[in-house]
Structure 1
Amino acid sequence: MPPLPIAGATPEAADTVQAPEMTPADEAAAIREERLWHDNGWTARVIKNEDDDGWAVEMLKDGEPEPALVGPWTMGRDKKNPKPLDPPAFNTLVKTATEVLQRHAQQAHAALHKRAAVFALDREWDIRLDITPDEYEPYATLSALDAFGEQLAQVRVRPDFRLTNASATAWILDGFRPPERAED
């Protein structure tokens, strides 16, 4: 970045003043090496790809034990060493890794919270299954809501209860009694 002119300063003094891009604390925490970047809570590390002769990059979010993203990395001009990391590549990797984490969170949420819309007893029902994945005693809650969103019934069921339109309808027609587990 070009030096900032300072009013009343000599031209020689203006050459020594630079505009700060980051705070000193941010600058101290940031690492910007050819194969290792750390900034804004993310670390990008270019590593040797164990599966072939190429290179890979892994993106690790601060505080997470596993990389959020591991993918191939471009070879440099010499066709032996990896292309160095740079700001645009790092920003793209952060965006991609963030999207991967968001999709993972959405999938985890969808696996624990299921819904079925059914028509029974001359009305529409919204049936919800919310699974609580406790390590020792996992369980699920089956709820019935009417068309206005008012909860009319709720029972505790096994966490492996399969919510389908048929099972939801059967539960409604059975007077919202806790479903018995079908023998496999």
Structure 2
Amino acid sequence: MQDHFEPGQNGALHEPRLWRDDGWTARVIKNDDDEGWAVEMIKDGEAEPALVGPWTMGRDKKNPKPLDTPAFHTLVKTASEVLRRHEQQLHATLHKSIVVNTASSTITVNLDIVPDEDDPYATLSAYDDAGDAIAEVRVAPNFKLSRASAEQWIENEFRRP
């Protein structure tokens, strides 16, 4: 069976093994791990797939089942969820926050890591009850924010640790 081209709106491409639409590309590929097939989902502008998973065999048990609209929409939804979880995990890794109660106030201490390839660093910042900035210093990207380190920074009048 020959692949056929169905042009869509906005440069969309709908072929049995390749769909491009809604900012995503789905490509059915040979599964390197076995004799089956896999599908990879790549978000426009990204070099690596957001999702790679097994793909169903067609009726002939040799070729892959062709991509279709419902399958593509399910793949987009799943790949989007994978990216969202990855972004949440990355955010949690790069942004930490601890609330410290002192004798006179409550201070929120934040650590924000900037993973720059050439010059990674982190910013340690403190905010009062009203959310106003009290202090901010640049620290090493591997600075460990803990309750003890936050309390010590406050006790040292926000001098660079």
Into which bin does the TM-score normalised by the smaller protein fall? 0.7 to 0.9
Gaps of 5+ in 2: 1-6
**TM-score normalized by the length of structure 1:** 0.77
CA shift for structure 1 position 25: 7.1
Aligned to 1:43: 25
Q: Which has the higher strand share?
A: 2
Match of 1:147 among 129, 154, 158: 129
Which letter does structure 1 place at the counterpart of 2:66? P
Q: State the Cα distance separating 1:113 from its structure 2 match.
A: 1.6
Equivalent in 63, 81, 94 of residue 112 of structure 1: 94
TM-score, with structure 2 as normaliser: 0.87
Distance 2:159 2:103 in 1: 15
Tell me the equivalent position of 1:68. Answer: 50
Amino acid at match of 2:36: G
Aligned AA (2:150):
A
Match of residue 81 from structure 2: 99
Decide whether the 8 Å contact of 1:120 with 1:173 is kept in 2.
Answer: no
Distance 1:25 1:50 in 2: 31
Local SS of the residue matching 2:93? helix
Pairwise CA RMSD of aligned residues?
A: 1.7
Q: Which residue of 1 aligns with 2:109?
A: 127
3-state DSSP class of the match of 1:105? helix
Paired residue total: 155
Cα deviation digits, residues 147-180 of structure 1 (max 9, x gap): 111111111111110011111111111221111x
SS in 2 for 1:37: strand
Native 8 Å contact 2:8 2:14 kept in 1: no
Q: Give the 3 Å change call, closer, same or farther, for CA 71–138 of structure 1 in structure 2.
A: same
Stretch deviating more after TM superposition (97-106 or 160-169): 97-106
Q: Using the alignment, how far apart are the partners of 1:155 and 1:63 within structure 2? A: 35
Q: How much identity, in percent, do the aligned residues show?
A: 65
Which is greater in Rg?
1
- Note the residue ranges of structure 1 that are not aligned, 5 or more in a row: 1-23, 180-184
Aligned partners of 1:175 and 1:48: how far apart in 2? 61
Report the residue type matching 2:9 in the other structure. D
